[in-house]
Copies of this chain bind each other. A is one copy, B any other.
C-alpha cells in the first residue's frame, strides 16, 4: 500500500479487494437479461462463485436491476433510444423490454439477494447515475468495487468509466461479465485496460484474494 498525504493508495489487487475498501456489485443479472446471451448460464455460475466468496468474506453486496419506464411515463431520451434499439419509426411502436415489478425484472433466482444485501433499481447504463450506490459506498468508506454481470459492452463499460470519474477503483471480472459476442468482449476489455486504471482479473484470481484476506485477518 502506498501511503502519501495522509492517504492509503492501493496498487495491488490484493490491496484493493478487501472488505474494508471494496463492494461487490452484481450487475443486471435479471431473468429478462441473462437468457439474451449464450453464455448466460456460465455467467450465473461465475457470479454465484463471487457471491459465495463475498458472503464468506463479509463484503458489502449490491445488485443492480435495470428496468424501462412505461411509454406513458418515459421521456424524450428514453423513447428515442427505444426507437433506435428496436428499429421503429414511431415511439408508439416501441415497447419497454420489461418494466419494474415484472418477472423479467427479477434477479435470477440462483443469485437472489439475501437479507443484508441491497437491490438497486436503475434506468441508466451506469450503476452510479441516478442511484444511491456511490452514496452508500462512500458512507461505508468503500472506494473500489468488483463488478460482474451482463452486458460488458452495454452497461458495465459505462459503469466502469463513470466510476473512474467518481474516483472509484473498478475490478472487472473478465470471465463473469457477459457479452453478446466474443469480439465485443475483447474490444471492451481492451479499451478498459488501456485506461491503466482498471483492474481486470478472473473470478478465480479475485476469489483467491478474497479468501486469502479472510484467512489472514
Contacts and interface: CB of A to CB of B under 8 A. Distances in A.
Interface in A81-121: 81, 83-85, 90-92, 99-101, 115-121
Nearest to A191: B191
Interface string A122-140: 1111100111101110111
A118 B100 contact: yes
Nearest to A21: B76
Contacts of A91: 2, 4-5, 9
Interface stretch (A41-49, A163-171, A200-208): A163-171
A31 to B, nearest CB: 17
Interface string A153-169: 00000100110111111
A130 B131 contact: yes
Given A73-B60, A80-B11, A120 B121 contact: yes
Given A20-B6, A118-B100, A77 B169 contact: yes
A94 to B, nearest CB: 10
Contact of A75 (B70, B77, B165, B167): B167
Nearest to A140: B75
A114 B173 CA distance: 38
A100 B77 contact: no
Contacts of A174: none
B72 A139 contact: no
Contacts of A165: 124-126, 129-130, 158, 162
A25 to B, nearest CB: 13
A11 B84 CA distance: 10
Nearest to A89: B2
B79 A4 contact: yes
A19 interface: yes
Contact of A74 (B19, B117, B140, B164): B140
A78 interface: yes
